[in-house]
C-alpha cells in the first residue's frame, strides 16, 4: 500500500472528518466542523474549496456515478448543496426537510435520494430539476440504502423496516426486520444475467445477514452469527461478497 498524501489539521479543525473519494479516484472530498468542503487531487493539492452558508457539521458527502456532482448534507439544514465538478459552481437544493441523515445517487447518476432523521424522503432529478417529497417513508431515521439499475431504491431505517420504492417514490415492497439494519446493497448472485438489473438485496444486521430476492420475496435467506458482528459488503463484477 502506497501513501498518497497527508492533510494538515488546518483544513478541517478539531473533530471527525467526513470524506468521499471520487468514483475514478481522481479527487478526494473532505469536510470537518468548520463549514468548508475541500476537494483535493491525488497529489494532495487543493482543487477547490466549497464555502457553505451554514457552519453546521457536514454529515455526508456523496458523489454521483460519473463524479460530476457532489451532494453535501449538513446537520440541521434542509438545503443540500450540489457542487458541479466541471464548472466548480454550487446549486443550492432546498428539500424543505430538516435533519438529513442519508444521501445516495442512482446508478446512472440522475436521481438523488435524501433521507431524514424523521424517516422522510426526497427524490431529486438532476435532469428535470424536480423534487418529489415522500413524507413518512419510514417512521424513524433512514440509515442506509441502495439503488439498482432499474432505479428501484431500497432503504433501511431505525424503525427496523425495509422499503423498496420505484423512481416516483411509491413503495412497492416492505418488510419488517428483526434488528436495525446498518448497511444495504443491491447486487447479483452467481449465475444472474449481467444485462438485467440487480434483484438481490443484502441487508446487514448486527448478528445476521438477510438475502432478499425481489423475484422471490416470500423466501428470504437469513445467515446468522453467534456473536455481534458487522459484516462488510464489497463488489466484484457486480456480485455481492460478504466478509
Which domains does the chain possess?
A: 1-83 (2.40.10), 95-243 (2.130.10.10)
**What pLDDT is recorded for position 236?**
42
Position 127 pLDDT exceeds 70: yes
C-alpha dihedral (95, 88, 52, 136), degrees to nearest 10:
20
pLDDT-derived band of residue 234, with 50, 70 and 90 as boundaries?
Answer: very low
Q: What is the CA radius of gyration of the chain?
A: 18
Position 230 pLDDT exceeds 70: no
**What pLDDT is recorded for position 237?**
47
Task: Evaluate if pTM is beyond 0.85.
Answer: yes
Position 160 pLDDT exceeds 80: yes
**What pLDDT is recorded for position 2?**
79
Position 235 pLDDT exceeds 60: no
pLDDT in tens, 61-73: 999 999 999 999 9
**DSSP string spanning 116-141?**
ETTS-EEEEETTT--EEEETTSSSS-
Quickly count: other Cβ atoms within 10 Å of residue 160's Cβ. 17
Amino acid at each position: 500500500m502506497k501513501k498518497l498524501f497527508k492533510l494538515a489539521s488546518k483544513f478541517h479543525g478539531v473533530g471527525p472528518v467526513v470524506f468521499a473519494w471520487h468514483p475514478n479516484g481522481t479527487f478526494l472530498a473532505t469536510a470537518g466542523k468548520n463549514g468548508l468542503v475541500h476537494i483535493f487531487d491525488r497529489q494532495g493539492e487543493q482543487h477547490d474549496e466549497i464555502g457553505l452558508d451554514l457552519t453546521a457539521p457536514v454529515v455526508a458527502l456523496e458523489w454521483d456515478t460519473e463524479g460530476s456532482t457532489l451532494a453535501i448534507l449538513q446537520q440541521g439544514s434542509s438545503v443540500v448543496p450540489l457542487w458541479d465538478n466541471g464548472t466548480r459552481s454550487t446549486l443550492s437544493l432546498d428539500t424543505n426537510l430538516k435533519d438529513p441523515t442519508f444521501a445516495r445517487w442512482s446508478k446512472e447518476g440522475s436521481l438523488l435520494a435524501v433521507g431524514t432523521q424523521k424517516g422522510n424522503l426526497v427524490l431529486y432529478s438532476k435532469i428535470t430539476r424536480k423534487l418529489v417529497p415522500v413524507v413518512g417513508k419510514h417512521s424513524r431515521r433512514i440509515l442506509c440504502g441502495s439503488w439498482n439499475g432499474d432505479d428501484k431504491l431500497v432503504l433501511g431505517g431505525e424503525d427496523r423496516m425495509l422499503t423498496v420504492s420505484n423512481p416516483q417514490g411509491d413503495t412497492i415492497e416492505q418488510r419488517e426486520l428483526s434488528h436495525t439494519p446498518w448497511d444495504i446493497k443491491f447486487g447479483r448472485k452467481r449465475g444472474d444475467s449481467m444485462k438485467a438489473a440487480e434483484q438481490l438485496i443484502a441487508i446487514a444486521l448486527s448478528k445476521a445477514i438477510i438475502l432478499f430476492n425481489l423475484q422471490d420475496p416470500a423466501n428470504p435467506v437469513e445467515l446468522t452469527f453467534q456473536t455481534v458482528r458487522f459484516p462488510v459488503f464489497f463488489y466484484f463484477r457486480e456480485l455481492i461478497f460478504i466478509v
